[in-house]
Amino acid sequence: MKNKTNTISAKNKYVKTAKKKTSPPKKSLLSKKNKEEQKIPGLEGSASFRKLAAKPRFKKHAERYRNILENIRDGYFEVDLVGNFTFFNDSVCRILGYSSEELMGMNYRQYTDKDNAKKVFQTYNKVYKTGEPTEGFDWLIIRKDGAKRYIEASVSLLKDSSGKPKGCRSIIRDITERKQMEERYRRIFENAQNGIYQSTLEAKFIMANQSMAQILGYDSPEDLIFSITDISSQLYANPEECMQFIEMMEKQGLVKNFEVQFRKKDGRIIWVSRTTQVFRNEKGEVLYYEGIIEDITDRKDSFERLRNALGGTVRALASVVETRDPYTAGHQRHVADLALAIAREIGVSTDQIEGLRVAAIIHDIGKISVPSEILTKPGKLTDLEFGIIKVHSQSGYNILKDIDFPWPVAMMVFEHHERMNGTGYPRNLKGDEILLEARILAVSDVVESMASHRPYRASLGIEAALEEIEKNKGIIYDETVVDACLRLFREKGYKLT
């Protein structure tokens, strides 16, 4: 029986083994030439690069090509028709975590999971079939160290000299950090208590979160987006406020805390605070609005109850003065009406107007410290009596200073007899040292007083009052405030009631 173990021929020095039955080798998809190229890692493995470098007149271009590919942060690679690497730059090795020797010839299925491998196949197969490149395709890779990273790729078809497809080329970049940020934003978006949305210039929602749908009474964001085809007519309780909002957006680009009433799906009216920003393209054309809304109905209801309680207290204080001085009954109310009209005319904020309303209704509260005999004296006041009258600004301040108003009401009352040139009282303030609200009160107080009857004189008439402030505008009275007051009476038909 022959020995079938391995033997070494002393003459030829080569290994001889017993014959074994083996299956024929599988036919490779790579040509012999490509097999040889596959063994050369990195840039030198590119046949097109070697051909370019071999021609003296293109050698400089080849070097430039090499420098670009070796130094860019993005990965560049080429694969054959079955998805095996045939060429790549160093950035691909860095992104995937493999050496160039390990990566050469590796198939895409070896560095991704089953689901992502399917995505890769579908994308590359589409490029192969249509010849059309694709951009922004992303998938999950698994690095050599097991770390999972997201990459984004552009893919285009590679053809040989005859125009026949031979593979694909791709540029990739690691977008893991961006994906993580997107995921954090998605969680914030989905779990936020406030409504988040995007809407078109045509007043349609294009995106909304669950809270947005719930605030407006809809089951889901899809239900909201499908149901609301015109935000202006379907959501706004007062559609004209939508136009006001759009005008503000066009001028400012960002509107914060715009309070408005919206109509829910069931018809109920709620208050919301809306903060919105406009997004435009390179030409400055509006692409969409993006914003946040907060349901402030409970806060508004509480504020309204507090406002009503405060209003009752303020009216009670005002009536105390008018009870002691029946000749000026209604004076504070008339001054308040005119002051609010002037404030609106010059564009004072809604919050300032509310504070001004409170101050105007009780601006003479300090007169409760003045003897009624002086308040109702039918003749001319003596210097001493007028000096006592002048104390009422300080007295009013002392009464109001410890009340925690949301506005500087006590200071408005304190300063409503100050004058722009410093000739007023009690502190001889000048110009911008005086609160704007106090400057409005000063003009309103003078006009109403001159146009009304007093114990010591008959009414001087509205024209005399307007001539007084016009003559002294910019000297005693604020010029902007006077101009607004004159417009109200002479152009817009305002009347003291």
DSSP 3-state assignment of 366? helix
Per residue in 96-138, pLDDT (tens digit) is: 999 999 999 999 999 999 999 999 999 999 999 999 999 988 9
Q: What is the CATH number of the domain that holds 456?
A: 1.10.3210.10
User: pLDDT band at residue 2, thresholds of 50, 70 and 90?
Assistant: very low
Quick one: which of 443, 492, 452 has its CA closest to 470?
A: 443
Quick one: which of 47, 41, 97 has its CA closest to 70?
A: 41
Distances (CA, A) of 215 to 91, 267, 275, 366: 49, 13, 15, 47
Tell me whether residue 18 is in a domain.
no
Same-domain pairing of 307 and 287: no
The alpha helices in 348-423, defined as continuous H runs, are 350-361, 372-375, 383-390, 392-400, 409-415
Instruction: Summarize the confidence of residues 272-283 as an average pLDDT.
Output: 91
Same-domain pairing of 437 and 291: no
- Is the preceding peptide bond at 56 cis, omega within 30 degrees of 0? no
Amino acid at 50: R
Same-domain pairing of 69 and 170: yes
Radius of gyration of the chain (CA): 42
Which of 6-10, 69-73, 178-182, 440-444 bottoms out in mean pLDDT, i.e. has the lowest? 6-10
In contact, 288 and 200? CB cutoff 8 Å: yes
**pLDDT at residue number 17:** 35
Tell me whether residue 144 is in a domain.
yes
Tell me whether residue 15 is in a domain.
no
User: pLDDT band at residue 236, thresholds of 50, 70 and 90?
Assistant: very high
Rounded Cα–Cα distance for residues 361 and 254 (Å):
35
DSSP state of 216: T
Rounded Cα–Cα distance for residues 280 and 10 (Å):
85
Strand ranges (E), 250-327: 254-263, 269-280, 286-295
Query: Which tokens hold the place of 49?
Result: 């690069």
Tell me whether residue 19 is in a domain.
no
Per residue in 321-344, pLDDT (tens digit) is: 777 776 666 888 899 999 999 999
Domain hosting residue 234, numbered range: 192-295
Share of the chain above pLDDT 70, in %: 85
Tell me whether residue 474 is in a domain.
yes
Taken in order 31, 33, 35, 38, the sign of the CA dihedral is: negative
From 264, 279, 295, give the residue that closes a domain.
295
Same-domain pairing of 323 and 468: yes
Per residue in 430-462, pLDDT (tens digit) is: 999 999 999 999 999 999 989 887 766 778 899
Per residue in 29-55, pLDDT (tens digit) is: 334 444 444 444 455 555 555 555 555
Instruction: Summarize the confidence of residues 255-276 as an average pLDDT.
Output: 93
Q: What is the CATH number of the domain that holds 127?
A: 3.30.450.20
Rounded Cα–Cα distance for residues 223 and 244 (Å):
27
Burial 82-106 (b: 16+ CB within 10 A, else e): ebbbbbbbbbbbebbbbebeebbbb
From 155, 178, 201, give the residue that closes a domain.
178
Instruction: Summarize the confidence of residues 275-303 as an average pLDDT.
Output: 89
Same-domain pairing of 289 and 332: no
**pLDDT at residue number 43:** 52
Same-domain pairing of 428 and 472: yes
**pLDDT at residue number 183:** 84
In contact, 279 and 287? CB cutoff 8 Å: yes
371: phi then psi, degrees, rounded to nearest 5: -55, 140
User: pLDDT band at residue 247, thresholds of 50, 70 and 90?
Assistant: confident
User: pLDDT band at residue 375, thresholds of 50, 70 and 90?
Assistant: confident
**pLDDT at residue number 45:** 52
Same-domain pairing of 139 and 219: no
Same-domain pairing of 334 and 471: yes
- Edge-to-edge strand ranges of the sheet holding 85-88: 85-88, 75-79, 165-174, 148-159, 134-142
Same-domain pairing of 314 and 290: no
Give helix 436-451 / helix 331-345 axis angle, nearest 10°.
Answer: 130
Query: Which of the residue ranges 64-68, 399-403, 477-481 has the most confident prediction, judged by mean pLDDT?
Result: 477-481
Tell me whether residue 14 is in a domain.
no
From 295, 324, 347, give the residue that closes a domain.
295
Rounded Cα–Cα distance for residues 117 and 21 (Å):
36
Rounded Cα–Cα distance for residues 81 and 339 (Å):
81
Same-domain pairing of 259 and 384: no
Instruction: Summarize the confidence of residues 199-209 as an average pLDDT.
Output: 90
Share of the chain above pLDDT 90, in %: 55
Q: Quote the number of domains for the chain.
A: 3
Identify the residue with better confidence: 30 or 480: 480
**pLDDT at residue number 170:** 93
Which of 49-58, 203-212, 221-230, 388-397 bottoms out in mean pLDDT, i.e. has the lowest? 49-58
**pLDDT at residue number 421:** 95
Quick one: which of 155, 151, 166 has its CA closest to 112?
A: 151
Query: Which tokens hold the place of 460?
Result: 């001087």
**pLDDT at residue number 53:** 54
Identify the residue with better confidence: 49 or 168: 168
For 141-148, which contacts have Cβ atoms below 8 Å and span 24 or more sequence positions?
A: 141/95, 141/96, 141/111, 141/112, 141/116, 142/111, 142/112, 142/113, 143/95, 143/96, 143/97, 143/111, 144/96, 144/97, 144/98, 144/102, 145/97, 147/97
Which of 285-299, 309-323, 421-435 bottoms out in mean pLDDT, i.e. has the lowest? 309-323
Same-domain pairing of 101 and 141: yes
**pLDDT at residue number 282:** 87
Tell me whether residue 187 is in a domain.
no
Q: Which helix (H) or strand (E) holds 102?
A: helix 100-103
Q: How many CB atoms lie within 10 A of CB 429?
A: 19
**pLDDT at residue number 480:** 96
Give helix 350-361 / helix 297-324 axis angle, nearest 10°.
Answer: 30
Same-domain pairing of 414 and 323: yes
**pLDDT at residue number 62:** 55
Averaged confidence pLDDT in the chain: 84
Instruction: Summarize the confidence of residues 156-183 as an average pLDDT.
Output: 91
Query: Which tokens hold the place of 408?
Result: 């500087």
Distances (CA, A) of 225 to 29, 208, 211, 220, 292: 51, 7, 13, 9, 16
Tell me whether residue 495 is in a domain.
no
Q: Which residues contact 177 (CB under 8 A, 6 or more apart)?
A: none
DSSP state of 27: P
